[in-house]
Amino acid sequence: MKLYKITIVALLLSGVGRAEAQQLKLNAGNVDEILKAMTLEEKASLLVGGRNKSYGGGNATTIGFTEAVVPGAAGLTQGIERLGIPPTVLSDGPAGVRIQPTREGSSRPYHATGFPVGTSLATTWNVDLVESVGKAMGEEVLDYGIDVLLAPGMNIHRSPLCGRNFEYYSEDPLVTGKMAAAFVRGIQKNGVGTSIKHFAVNSQETNRNHVDEVVSQRAVREIYLKGFEIAVKEGKPWTVMSSYNRLNGVYTQENRELLTTVLRDEWGFDGIVMTDWIGQRNTAAQVHAGNDLMEPGMPAQSEEIIAKVKSGELSVEDVDACVRRILEYIVKTPRFRGYKYSEQPALEAHAAVTRRSAAEGMVLLKNEDNTLPLKDLKKVALFGITSYDFIAGGMGSGNVCKPYVVNLMQGLDNAGLEVTEDLKKLYLAYKDYQEAKTESERLSFDWRWGRDIFPEMSVSRTCIDKQAKKADVAVFTVGRQGGEAWDRKVKDDFNLTAQERQLLDDLCAAFHAEGKKVVVVINAGGVIETASWKELPDAILLAWQPGEEGGNSVTDLLVGKENPSGKLTMTFPVSAMDHPSSLNFPTTASQVPGKPVEGAGKWAKRNVDYTLHQEGINVGYRYFATAGKKVSYPFGYGLSYTTFSYGKSAVKASADGFKASIVVTNTGKVAGKEVVQLYVSAPGGGLQKPALELKSFAKTRLLQPGESETLTFDVTNYALASFDEAVQSWVSAKGRYTVKFGASVEDIRATSVYTLSKEFTQKVNDVLKPGMSLE
């Protein structure tokens, strides 16, 4: 009888246990309990994305539900219904939310705001503005039911020829990190996440899935990781995206030294790492490295995790660490909180944000005899196909399905300026022809990719002479496009095409003969060659790819409604080959011999299969300033419609570095903003250092004529440090540091001195060694 009673009780208790397990649902306080309740199959599913049907076909669901709740979103995490774990949604978006603009069964569009590209935001040098742009973009992320925006892109402009430079910020890691951190903070104010990318050293698009970027430990630390470090520590992004490429012989997605030792152990990152969108690789190695989420997701990846845990090739501890981080991410998301998204973002309000922010990022490169702002004129001869077909943003995952794009013709018209009718008709007819030609030759349509620009149209000298007589000024827009999966070429891309140069020559000859001005607008995401032609026009405005309000933003500057305050965050060289990195970039791959790949029995193609970063830390202005190499426009350069004086400067030691300040005064006749860049030259001896390095920057508020502002800067001894491979430490030598306050890297307006009485050192791990010789 006793045995019977005990058995009944045991059965009842076991039933209660099962019932409690069945009722267990995820919440912010029971992550460990959920983890213990999960089966191996469920854990494996959570580490593999659920492919969104409307993005890339197929659905990787193995457990639970991952229906395409946001058509066109880049990817999903998988849900586990029995444990109350919902799927979450990931969307592309460095320049705005990228989702499908049309939906089956709905007649209304699902557009998102096309914001300025990364280069445009960076050249504002205004972290508060960038944060406000991020906040507006994050509102659309939230309103469209997305949990994480796959942005910002923040790789270094190692070469001006990288195809995705338009998404990125700068050749300098400090600017990159500060801008990215501000962008992340702005987006995440909405309770949604970001994924900073592409981690790390994704320096070229040619063979981006497999190229081995071979970099010294010093250059990796100082140039390619420093921006990510700043963004992680100051922005606290929810996620990091590991890049496609290899770094010093190891795929970054499988590199534990990168994803765990550096990112988590040294920098304190506590979010999740997801792969860039790639097929199946060594999934077990990715999990062991600390790559928590495989995107876009394949059932075979879950199967591999299960099989390798059972075989002992992958530890369950590694799996559990990744699963725990994903659960901790999920409980923060709007979808987990049950947020009722509207799918009706404030597009009109965000268009205004775009218009203002784009204008602040534009850089006035030349303004001879105060050609700009345009005054006392009404009629404009508007040249260049891009004037009528403006480029709002780049192609690929950086593309946004915008509600409209304001071209320059429309922008001028909105400001009350008349574009000469016959020239307008000529260009619009050419645009119609090119669009019809493109459509007739199109094999397929992909809303995700965007469209390349049309070739420039030849214009006869007779037509130009006629325009010079009837118009008050000529405006010529030079357009360039960029996108993922390919790099730019020097001929007919970095350099002007023969048609563009001929048109510019003829325009300047004809209009100058009539005593009239020529203005060039550069509508491009990255650097182009300017040295050979910049003396021809009277003014040059670098508009970047400024988003959907581009034509209005450009016009605001042309007519003086806005005063340009953008400054370059990258060097404009005389020639693309002046960059030392150009010797080790895909455009020159055929000019150098290959190198055997050990055990492969074949020759690897240099700059395609592997790329040697032989320039080390000599990237951008660090090289040009140290070598004394002439440039077309230096890092930090940008003109204004007013002038500024730099007054009293001061440098005072602090507990862990120094504090600096300088007084800036608007000495001109119109209101404007000034960017002050703080460069530091290190004492001699010890490690070889660049002539000077950017260590801080600040931008004034809008100063009225005669008004002053004191700008302040904080620089730590750690920020001054260089990486010494011999001792695997960050080191700041003791001695006198010259602190330079500059309007650009070549225009230093004031100097002070900071004395470090004792050497600063900070030890780190001996990791990320090159896999082959850099010689």
Q: By the 8 A CB rule, do 195 and 149 touch?
A: yes
Could you tell me if 500 and 581 lie in one domain?
no
Could you tell me if 181 and 222 lie in one domain?
yes
Could you tell me if 359 and 377 lie in one domain?
yes
Residue 187 maps to a domain: yes
Please report which confidence band the pLDDT of residue 591 belongs to, taking 50, 70 and 90 as the band edges: low
Q: What is the structure's pLDDT at 69?
A: 80
Q: What is the structure's pLDDT at 54?
A: 44
Please report which confidence band the pLDDT of residue 590 belongs to, taking 50, 70 and 90 as the band edges: low
For residue 51, give the amino acid letter: R
Q: By the 8 A CB rule, do 294 and 324 touch?
A: no
Q: What is the structure's pLDDT at 728?
A: 98
Q: What is the structure's pLDDT at 452?
A: 81
Residue 252 maps to a domain: yes
Q: Which of 662, 747, 636, 746 is nearest to 125 (CA)?
A: 636
CATH code of the domain in which 423 resides: 3.40.50.1700
Residue 285 maps to a domain: yes
Average pLDDT score, the chain = 93
- Rounded to an integer, the average pLDDT of 574-602 is 76
Handedness of CA 591, 595, 596, 598 (dihedral sign): negative
Could you tell me if 653 and 582 lie in one domain?
no
Residue 359 maps to a domain: yes
Could you tell me if 281 and 299 lie in one domain?
yes
Q: What is the structure's pLDDT at 632?
A: 98
- Rounded to an integer, the average pLDDT of 5-11 is 37
Alpha carbon of 637 to those of 363, 505, 506, 567: distances in Å? 8, 26, 28, 5
Specify whether the backbone of 757 is left (phi greater than 0), alpha (psi in -120 to 50) or beta: alpha
Total domain count for the chain? Answer: 4
Q: Which domain holds residue 398?
A: 347-570
Point out the least confidently predicted range of 142-156, 447-461, 464-478. 447-461
> What residues act catalytically?
276
Could you tell me if 483 and 590 lie in one domain?
no
Could you tell me if 548 and 674 lie in one domain?
no
pTM, to two decimals: 0.95
Q: What is the structure's pLDDT at 22?
A: 60
Residue 80 maps to a domain: yes
Residue 129 maps to a domain: no
Q: State the number of CA atoms in the 13 A half-sphere of 400 facing the CB.
A: 30
- Rounded to an integer, the average pLDDT of 371-397 is 96
How far apart CA 629 and CA 564 sit, in angstroms, is 27
Could you tell me if 553 and 681 lie in one domain?
no
Q: Of 318, 337, 356, which residue sits at a domain end?
A: 337
Q: What is the structure's pLDDT at 7?
A: 36
**389-432 confidence digits (pLDDT tens):** 999 999 999 999 999 999 999 999 999 999 999 999 999 999 99
Q: What is the structure's pLDDT at 11?
A: 35
Could you tell me if 365 and 280 lie in one domain?
no
Share of the chain above pLDDT 90, in %: 88
